[in-house]
């Protein structure tokens, strides 16, 4: 049975009221003990000592919670629910608690090297915002503390526990990032992918990444609020080659546009000359004119006009 987080239903009393009661018990215990000693009354002295011991034990039941925090309540190892009421309270002194933070936390993962869909090595990194949504799973479904960088330094304070959980999130985020990055190409350089790319996918790639992370982190009771790719580049060993490839592709695309425009302009010029009967051109003269215009329109250098004083 997959047990989940439940609300703590045990006795909880106002902390300030119990603080006053315990102080009164301390005063009564000291008074009873002193009177018992002075009157040589063993029952009075023993009663004062027992009352003092009881008051001391009751001091262990104070619980204080800030907004965005929760405490797991355990009685001799048994889970008795999660307490998340903000304020100062008193609970059974033999209940042990572990404090957890329910606030959103940020993880900026270092870029990792992965192979994209076509096998190119790329460097990719992500930033994600996560928070706890199920304290029971976070503490009892995974052994996050043994996966921390320094397991010997793990304590019971909220900072140590949350840092241990962050190591679990980091490991799973790397795995999810590799899975998503391997399904798409870095860029559609040759026009062969016909779909999403890591560089052009944008929000859709981020949504898939967020979905994969939520699937992996659900076992730990962790919810991913937002996940985004914040770094994307070719690996250093192929970055220079791919840059030249992109530049060549850009030059070819630009040349195609120039030629397309030049052909359109030459056709328009010939049509206008024929319609307005400016001059009659045979096929040879048309071919020469087309050649000259294409050279002028497609050339990178400025044309040097030659005035023809003879016939065309």
Phi, then psi, of 201 in degrees rounded to 5 = -70, -35
Specify the domain boundaries for CATH 3.30.479.30 within the chain.
Answer: 105-234
Mean pLDDT of the chain: 80
Q: Using CA atoms, how far apart are residues 208 and 181, in angstroms rounded to an integer?
A: 10
User: What pLDDT, on the 0 to 100 scale, is given for residue 258?
Assistant: 76
Q: 90-137, pLDDT tens digit by residue?
A: 998 888 888 888 899 998 888 888 888 877 888 888 999 999 988 888
Q: Give how far Cα 194 sits from Cα of 191, 204, 252, Å.
A: 6, 15, 19
User: What pLDDT, on the 0 to 100 scale, is given for residue 45?
Assistant: 84
Q: Which CATH superfamily is domain 105-234 in?
A: Band 7 domain (3.30.479.30)
Q: 23-59, pLDDT tens digit by residue?
A: 999 998 888 888 887 777 778 888 888 988 988 998 9
Predicted TM-score of the model (pTM): 0.68
User: What pLDDT, on the 0 to 100 scale, is given for residue 16?
Assistant: 92
Q: Using CA atoms, how far apart are residues 167 and 147, in angstroms rounded to an integer?
A: 7
User: What pLDDT, on the 0 to 100 scale, is given for residue 151?
Assistant: 45
Whether the predicted pLDDT of 190 surpasses 60: no
Categorize the per-residue pLDDT at 20 as very low, low, confident or very high, splitting at 50, 70 and 90: very high
């Amino acid at each position: 049975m997959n047990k989940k987080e439940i609300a703590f239903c045990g006795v909880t009393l106002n902390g300030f009221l119990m603080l006053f009661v315990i102080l009164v018990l301390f005063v009564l215990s000291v008074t009873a003990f002193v009177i018992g000693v002075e009157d040589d009354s063993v029952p009075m002295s023993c009663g004062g000592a027992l009352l003092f011991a009881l008051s001391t034990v009751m001091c262990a039941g104070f619980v204080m919670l800030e907004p965005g925090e929760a405490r797991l309540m355990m009685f001799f190892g048994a889970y008795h629910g999660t307490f998340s009421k903000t304020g100062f309270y008193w609970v059974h002194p033999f209940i042990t608690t572990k404090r957890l933070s329910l606030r959103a936390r940020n993880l900026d993962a270092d870029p990792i090297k992965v192979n994209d869909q076509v096998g190119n090595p790329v460097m990719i990194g992500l930033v994600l915002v996560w928070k706890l949504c199920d304290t029971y799973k976070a503490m009892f479904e995974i052994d996050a503390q043994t996966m921390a960088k320094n397991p010997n330094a793990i304590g019971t304070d909220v900072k140590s526990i949350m840092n241990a959980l962050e190591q679990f999130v980091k490991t799973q985020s790397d795995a999810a990032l590799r899975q998503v990055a391997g399904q798409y190409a870095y860029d559609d350089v040759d026009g062969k992918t016909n779909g999403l790319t890591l560089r052009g996918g944008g929000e859709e790639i981020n949504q898939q990444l967020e979905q994969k992370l939520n699937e992996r982190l659900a076992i730990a009771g962790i919810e991913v609020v937002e996940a985004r790719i914040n770094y994307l580049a070719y690996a250093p060993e192929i970055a220079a080659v791919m840059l030249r490839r992109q530049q060549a592709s850009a030059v070819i695309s630009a040349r195609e546009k120039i030629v397309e425009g030049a052909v359109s302009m030459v056709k328009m010029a010939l049509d206008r000359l024929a319609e307005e009967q400016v001059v009659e051109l045979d096929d040879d003269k048309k071919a020469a004119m087309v050649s000259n215009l294409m050279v002028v329109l497609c050339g990178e250098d400025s044309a040097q006009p030659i005035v023809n004083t003879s016939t065309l």
